[in-house]
Structure 1
Amino acid sequence: MPTVSETYIENRVRVQPDDTNNYASAHGGNVVKWMDEVGAMSAMRLAGATCVTARINGLDFERPIPQGDICIIESYAYDAGTSSVRVRLRAFREDPRTGETEQTTSSHFVFVAVDEDMKPTTVPELSVETDRDRRLEQEALASEGTD
């Protein structure tokens, strides 16, 4: 039975000119794409199967990520249904020169585990064992109504 911490993934992408909009900041569609890809990885760690996006529950763009900065995507599963996995996702901007970070985007995605025929398949229970697991789960649940 996988734990919340075992589904935690953090990924970094340098925001290049091709990733930006007319304002020299990361295009929102690219940020969502990066979040979707990393979120699916967290869901698959729990499910042990391919996972596809079923829903995005709110998506708040709080501030831009300038070209040249790094986009950090933080993702982890915090709840599971029969075939679904709920994943908390947050994006941050990081200045590559100073390491300074600030949150830019937040959301909760729902993924569904599928078999080779793209039919929903069951996922294991998500285990909450450590203080870190509990903290991550509580933060995700508390933010559900605000993201």
Structure 2
Amino acid sequence: MPTVSETYLENRWRVQPNHANNYGTVHGGNVMKWMDELGAMAAMRFAGEPCVTASIDQMDFHRPVPTGDTAVIEAFAFDAGRTSVKVHLRAAGENPRTGDQETTTESQFVFVAIDEDGKPVPVPDLAADDERSQELRERALAWRDEHHRDG
């Protein structure tokens, strides 16, 4: 049974001019794409199957990441259904010279495991039986509780 901590991934992208909007900061669509790609990788690491995006929870952008800085994305699975997996994602801007980070957005994506015909397939149970897994899961659940919107 995979653990939450085994699904944890982190990646960095240097924000280039082709990633930027008219204001010289990363375009939100690029951040969303990077989050989706890394989230799918975390989901696949958990499920052991190809996974596709089913839904994206609330995504608010709190601060820009300027061209030349680094966008840091982290992802981990924190909950599973029969054929789906919930992945918590955090994006931050990072100063490449100092390593200082500021969160720009967080969200939770749902991915569905599929077979070669594109049909949903069952996923395993997800364990949180080590300290790091418990910390990650608690962080994701706290974010969900704080940002969940009905409706």
TM-score of the aligned structures, taking structure 2 as reference length:
0.96
Tell me the equivalent position of 1:53. 53
Q: Give the superposition deviation at 1:99.
A: 1.0
Kindly report which structure 2 residues correspond to 1:70-109, keeping only aligned pairs within 5 A, or say none: 70-109=70-109
Helix, strand or coil: the match of 1:139?
helix
Deviations 1:37-86 (A, max 9, x none): 00000000110000000000111111111100000001000000000000
Tell me whether 1:122 sits opposite 2:128 in the alignment. Answer: no
**Counterpart of 1:4?**
4
- Give the gaps of 5 or more residues in structure 2: none
Q: 1:123 offset after TM fit, Å?
A: 0.3
- What amino acid sits opposite 2:95 in the alignment? D
Structure number with the higher strand fraction is 1
Counterpart position of 2:137: 137
- TM-score, with length taken from structure 1: 0.98
Residue type matched to 2:39 in 1?
G
Same amino acid, percent of matched pairs: 59
Give 1:18's aligned residue. 18
Distance in 2 of aligned mates of 1:40 and 1:62? 23
Q: Displacement, 1:145?
A: 3.5
RMSD: 0.7
Shift of 1:98: 1.2
